[in-house]
Each structure stands twice: as structure tokens, then as C-alpha cells.
């Protein structure tokens, strides 16, 4: 399984990546454009997106990603209250909200949710 991290700086997801290391393949890009290109050309099972990217908000990237490859499971960094997050991401198939201070426990939650989705197919 490959998880693509989309962020402005590599260290942003370090704790989360450390928790996933050795369990899945990790890739990282630093712009929405790079992420969309990878989603078109490569087999990516999941994408974890920063709240803000250099050229757009993470939410906008997810809206564009649905048009390019709607089968990629996504997680978005957001500190919105849960109800608001659900409202703004409704219809985008976002698998998980990740807090900006994500740690190892969020990596395990992501793996658990991805395993659950995979078992449905």
C-alpha cells in the first residue's frame, strides 16, 4: 500500500510518517500539482493532505483529486470542530480528519481505517 503525503515541509508529518514506516510505502510531494500528477500516473491508495499548500488549500486539492482519481482514500489535516469538518468535506469521501499536531496514534487510526475500507472490497 502506498500513502502519499502532500505538505509544504517534510517535517510537518514526521510523527505520523514514523508511525507508518515499515508498514506501508510512503511518498511525499510539496505541491497540489505534483500530487495530482502522481494520482494520475501512479497507484496511490491513500493521500494525506496538509491544510494549506503553496498554491491552494488542502480542501481544494481534495475536490480536484476526486475528478482525477476518486478511488484514492484521503485524510485532511484540519483543526475544525468535527461537525464543521464533516460539513465542508461532505461528498468528497474523506476517510479521516487529522489534527495539526498529529502523532503516532493517528498513524495507527489511519491504518485501521484503510484496512477496514480494504476489507469491503
Where are the chain's structural domains? 2-120
Supply the pTM of this predicted model.
Answer: 0.92
CB distance 58 to 29 below 8 Å: no
2-120 architecture in CATH? 3-Layer(aba) Sandwich (3.40)
d(CA 116, CA 121): 9
**Element of type H or E holding 48:** strand 46-49
**Chain centroid to CA 91: how far?**
16
Beta bridge partners of 74: 47, 94
Specify the pLDDT at position 118. Answer: 81
For 65-115, the pLDDT digits (tens) are: 999 999 999 999 999 999 999 999 999 989 999 998 888 899 999 999 999
**121 confidence band (pLDDT: 50, 70, 90):** low
Amino acid at each position: 500500500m502506498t500513502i502519499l503525503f502532500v505538505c509544504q515541509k517534510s517535517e510537518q508529518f514526521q510523527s505520523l510518517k514514523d508511525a507508518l514506516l515499515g508498514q506501508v510505502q510512503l511518498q511525499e510531494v510539496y505541491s497540489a500539482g505534483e500530487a495530482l500528477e502522481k494520482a494520475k500516473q501512479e497507484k496511490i491508495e491513500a493521500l494525506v493532505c496538509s491544510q494549506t499548500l503553496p498554491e491552494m488549500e488542502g480542501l481544494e486539492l481534495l475536490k480536484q483529486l476526486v475528478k482525477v482519481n476518486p478511488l484514492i482514500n484521503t485524510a485532511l489535516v484540519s483543526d475544525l470542530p468535527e461537525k464543521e469538518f464533516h460539513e465542508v468535506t461532505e461528498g468528497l469521501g474523506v476517510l479521516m480528519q487529522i489534527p495539526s499536531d498529529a502523532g503516532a496514534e493517528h498513524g495507527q487510526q489511519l491504518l485501521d481505517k484503510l484496512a477496514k475500507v480494504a476489507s469491503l472490497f
